[in-house]
Structure 1
Amino acid sequence: MLIGSIEAGGTKFVCAVGNEDYQVQDKISFPTTTPDETLAKTRDYFKQFQLDALGVASFGPIEIRKSSPKYGYVTNTPKAGWRDTNFIGQLKRTINVPMAWTTDVNGSAYGEYVMANLANEKLDSLVYYTIGTGVGAGAVIDGNFLGSAGHPEMGHTFVKRHPDDLQFKGVCPFHGDCLEGLVSGPTFEARLGQKGETVPADHPVWDIMAYYIAQAALQATLIIRPDKIVFGGGVVSPALLEKVRQQFTTLLNDYIELPPLSQYLVRPVVANNGSATLGNFALGYKELTR
């Protein structure tokens, strides 16, 4: 059995083929350019294989309601040229197999959820945040995604401003200083004029970032009460995550009982940014056997 995976990011597409045991058999990546060019490359790649199913996790917003005439579309995205793209429709020109369709962060969340349970962690729920060029989050509860009218947009919630950061307007083109507008990768250049990877570990901006991310973790904790919150994406280093745990401890103030934060607020367990690929394999297989 062969299951395909498409991790459709705003910067690059990662396409892979694996088996029902979620083992990668082949993999390729290429830049995200125009919809026609990128989706043509995607279709050409999968023509090499006799797929049984396909899991697709895309940057968004996307339409996930199967009752909608725009199911399978990328909708109101800021990604240039991609607004109102019929993603699944273009794939089905040449790929006629059952397809699972969700957000990139949902795909990553599902991969982490599946891997944890394969490792006998026995999680009932999990939230996955990615903090990189953008910010998003997905949530899995009892094997199902949170959201029916649409997928969550937890990257666009609002947080209390840090007292040393009140003059920064934020970079989100829709909301200014929402979570994405305050902690995504481009905020380093907007605040400091340099890329995040060049900012020293002792720079106070990391404490500001940790304060905002800890608030997001607190919101997810108190609203969803997940078994674990995973933080992926290029902005989140082990050092930043430790600062987040410290800020989270202060904000929570022992209000509810949680596991040790070293086990509750964690980095991905799937190696090499492979959470979404593994999740897509699992979702494709689930769609095939539905």
Structure 2
Amino acid sequence: MSDAYVGGIEAGGTKFVCAVGTGPDDVRAEARFPTTTPDETIGRALAFFREQEARFGPPAAIGIGSFGPLDPNSDSPTFGSITSTPKPHWANADVVGPIRRALGVPVGFDTDVNVAGLGEWRWGAGRGYGTILYLTIGTGVGGGVLVDGRPLHGLLHPEMGHIPLPHDWAADPYKGHCPFHGDCLEGMAAGPAIGERWGRPAVELPPEHPAWELEAHYLARALQGFICTLSPERIILGGGVMEQPQLFPLVRAKVREYLNGYVQSPAILDAIDSYIVPPGLGNRAGVLGAIAQAQMMVA
């Protein structure tokens, strides 16, 4: 993979993060601003890159990791667009086109979780592993799989936050937050679901609150399925919800319990603390992954 000077965009549903550089030790400039309308937000991104071009020269490429759903197929007529998002103004918005036309460089485009996973695979907690799963639990839930540094695609891209889960309605009568599926993983375990279920934002709930035992249950059920279907060599859990330090031990214990000895791997049986881990790049995984994605385009 190239170490070229490039640009990256972490296009989140709440904020955009833009940066230029060559990697974690060479981020020459960075900017963060709210995600408003497509025209205003993409316009601010372009202004940032034009300013950096005047200082450092043109980047070799731009990588974008975006919220979705989106079209990552470069052969598709809607490549580079966000598709059926419930976020106002962004359904069917073209993200790649305006940036490619304005800057005249190659532009990569993928889900925010695939791109963050790429950053972790290259420089963070996934380094040295062939197959990793990156899952983010925050305002939404999304997942990406990297196989030898290549994000998994298919019909479109994985939508791991929208898998169905066993739901004990007597133990948890909450109907779920997802406008599409109700009680899918995102509907039950994302930050808004926690706040809606308990009547307080997740950040205000104390470590001993029963919310966290329930949250660990849903995350562990999801990981049980992902381990059995994808067999990742390392699982990285990021996002604001996972900043609760009590969650990791709860999730690890429940994953081991729910697998019930079926997956006979030392990583799970003997070393689960180093199998299910936080991001090595912290909250910079997304924008650094976008830089890594751009560098793949010019390798």
**Inter-CA distance 42–101: structure 2 relative to 1 (3 Å threshold):** same
Q: Is 1:16–2:26 an aligned residue pair?
A: no
Deviation at 1:238, TM superposition (A): 2.4
Amino acid at match of 1:146: L
**Residue equivalent to 2:291:** 281
**Residue equivalent to 1:110:** 118
Deviation at 1:44, TM superposition (A): 0.8
Task: Note if contact 2:100-2:106 (Cα within 8 Å) is conserved in structure 1.
Answer: no
Deviation at 1:126, TM superposition (A): 0.4
* CA deviation vs aligned residue, 1:16-63 (integer Å, no higher than 9, x gap): 011267621110000000001001111111012111111100000000
Q: Secondary structure at the match of 2:241?
A: coil
Name the count of aligned residue pairs: 286
**Inter-CA distance 21–33: structure 2 relative to 1 (3 Å threshold):** closer
- Match 1:262 to one of 273, 285, 289: 273
* CA deviation vs aligned residue, 1:169-209 (integer Å, no higher than 9, x gap): 00001000000000000112211111001111111111111
Q: Is 1:153–2:159 an aligned residue pair?
A: yes
Pairwise CA RMSD of aligned residues?
A: 1.5
Alignment of 1:81-160 (within 5 A): 81-116=89-124, 121-160=127-166
Q: Secondary structure at the match of 1:200?
A: coil
- CA distance in 2 between counterparts of 1:145 and 1:286 reads 12
* CA deviation vs aligned residue, 1:191-235 (integer Å, no higher than 9, x gap): 111100111111111111101000111111111101101000000
| Percent of pairs with identical residues | 39
Task: Note if contact 2:100-2:107 (Cα within 8 Å) is conserved in structure 1.
Answer: no
Q: Point out 4+ residue stretches in structure 1 off by more than 6 angstroms.
A: none
**Inter-CA distance 173–21: structure 2 relative to 1 (3 Å threshold):** closer
Task: Note if contact 1:116-1:123 (Cα within 8 Å) is conserved in structure 2.
Answer: no
Q: Secondary structure at the match of 1:41?
A: helix
Structure 1 unaligned residues grouped into runs of 5+: none
Structure 2 unaligned residues grouped into runs of 5+: none
Which is helix-richer, 1 or 2? 2
Q: Is 1:184–2:190 an aligned residue pair?
A: yes
The alignment's TM-score, normalised by the length of structure 1, stands at 0.95
- CA distance in 1 between counterparts of 2:95 and 2:70 reads 9
Alignment of 1:157-236 (within 5 A): 157-162=163-168, 165-236=171-242
- CA distance in 2 between counterparts of 1:131 and 1:185 reads 7
Deviation at 1:166, TM superposition (A): 3.3
**Residue equivalent to 1:244:** 251
Task: Note if contact 1:65-1:149 (Cα within 8 Å) is conserved in structure 2.
Answer: no
Task: Note if contact 1:156-1:179 (Cα within 8 Å) is conserved in structure 2.
Answer: yes
